[in-house]
Amino acid sequence: MKVRFAKALSFFIYLAVIIISNNLSAELSIDFLTPVDTDSKPADGKGGGGELKVIKDMIKFKNGDKFHGKMISFNKKGILWTSGEAQENIQFRTVNIKEIIIGMQKSYSKNVNTQIVLTNGDMLVGKMLKLSTKELILDTGYGGELKIDRFMVEAIYPGIGGETQGYKGPNDIKEWTIENNGNNNSKVEIKEGVMSLSGYYLCIGKDMKLPDVSKIEFEMEGGGNCQFNLQIYGKKVKRNLSNGYMLSISSSYISLQRYEDGSSSSMGNVRSKELQSGKGKITILVDKKEKKIILLLNDKMIKQWGDTDWAGTGGILSFSNQSHNLIKIKNIVVGKWNGKIPGAKSSEANESKDSITFMNDDVVSGELKSIVDDKVIFKTEYAEMNIPLERVEEIVTASSSRHRARRRSKDMRCFFPNGDSLTIDLKDIKNGIIEGTNGNFGATTLKLNAFTKLQFNIYDEEEE
């Protein structure tokens, strides 16, 4: 009983410090509310002896503090939050919040065939039903049919499928395979979603069954002189790769090595000034058929490598530390890539004319009249064209015809698993539903589990 009381007292002292330091307000609930929808098996259904894993939300404050638990709701008072340690719910004012990481997602990629880029930077995917002179109708699993103002559309990318998420973690050390060549000083642990690697000669990997077109992303932290290896498409978890590709990643450069039957050859390197601080987000995009590997740092494309013959023979992803620094890996997301480079800008717009880029790189300019039944009606100076949508790579609207959504003080940015995002003037969150208004398509309700992250106070940095 004394131990329980001491633990409870310690928790409430810690919580009080957070509330005071952030000038937060706390609200006590009459009823005890246990976390909901937080239990989940590991991504592959294995590991942990079949035990259920708790996947928590996480709230991040502006001052760098973070707090795990579960978001219950949002209203004009702020975010209502619960923790398994507490007997009371907590009310946090959004003015102090940077972002909320959503612990559990559901895929809504079925029937997705188009990505839409809007003039305020919003990007969303779905099935395009129709485009007229007034609106574009996009059918989505996460928000129903969205009727988007035609003049808010900057670009349309037909043929962009939905990205499917195969793994999100790390969750438990038991779902990973570890190879340690006898170095007792090498150690690896996974705690609260962070994988920590210390010492040489240790390799940790997992058979992700990497698809032919894959997207691998994670965040790393290791200090200014860190260095570690990332192996992809190997067949075994080993420091010495037999077949596959290995990226050697440091705070100053990144190189790619190709391995075939134990022999390696360099595919080149690139400076990594984005990692000079010793931390950053790394994204690897792979297309086996096209034999290409693309590197992004902090969502910016850095390098594309091409191969003459694909060397990978498996689907394993593995990490190994190559320095004395402690390397931390978190927010690992692996899945199928939709073929579009995140953050890639649309082709430069013509001021007075729309343009279409075809799959064979031909380009025509004119007026986009409509899209109906997967047919694009496009008027040029010399003819009106009826174009099958499947032949179109990109449609860019004339810059002079565009309007931009008005910014609002309560705007929140919702991030999809593929990195796309949309902005919403937030009204309410409850029972897994986000309610608010988007400047491009009006009042809407969106499913919370379609998103990985909710970002608050999104215009603060621009005002400073």
Tokens for 373, please give them.
Answer: 């039944």
Average pLDDT (112-120) is: 91
pLDDT at 271: 87
Average pLDDT (154-171) is: 80
Residues 458 and 170: their CA atoms lie apart, in Å, by 28
Who wins on pLDDT, 360 or 135? 135
- Is-contact 416 451, C-beta < 8 A? yes
Interior CA angle at 118 toward 113 and 119, to 5°?
160
pLDDT tens per residue across span 214-254 = 999 999 998 777 889 999 999 999 888 889 999 999 888 89
- How many residues are recorded in the chain? 464
Range in 59-68, 85-94, 115-124, 283-292 with the lowest mean pLDDT: 85-94
**Longest Cα pair distance anywhere in the chain, in angstroms?**
86
Kindly report whether the peptide bond that precedes residue 170 is cis, defined as omega within 30 degrees of 0.
yes
Instruction: Report residue 67's pLDDT band, with 50, 70 and 90 as the boundaries.
Output: confident
Residues 64 and 9: their CA atoms lie apart, in Å, by 24
pLDDT tens per residue across span 136-155 = 999 999 999 999 999 999 99
Q: Domain spans of the chain?
A: 2-101, 165-336
pLDDT tens per residue across span 366-418 = 999 999 999 999 999 989 999 999 899 899 999 998 999 999 988 999 998 87
Give the residue from 293, 335, 294, 334 showing the smallest Cα distance to 310.
Answer: 293
The per-residue pLDDT of the chain, averaged, comes to 83
Tokens for 110, please give them.
Answer: 């079925």
Q: Tell which CATH architecture fits domain 165-336.
A: Sandwich (2.60)
pLDDT tens per residue across span 8-37 = 444 444 444 444 444 443 333 222 222 333
Task: Report the run of H or E that residue 198 belongs to, with start and end.
Answer: strand 194-198
Tokens for 112, please give them.
Answer: 């997705």
Residues 132 and 123: their CA atoms lie apart, in Å, by 19
pLDDT at 179: 86
Per the listing, tokens 């219950």 go with 72
Q: What percent of the chain has pLDDT above 70? A: 84
Residue 365 half-sphere exposure toward CB, CA atoms < 13 A? 9
Residues 74 and 94: their CA atoms lie apart, in Å, by 9
Residues 291 and 301: their CA atoms lie apart, in Å, by 17
- Is-contact 83 56, C-beta < 8 A? no
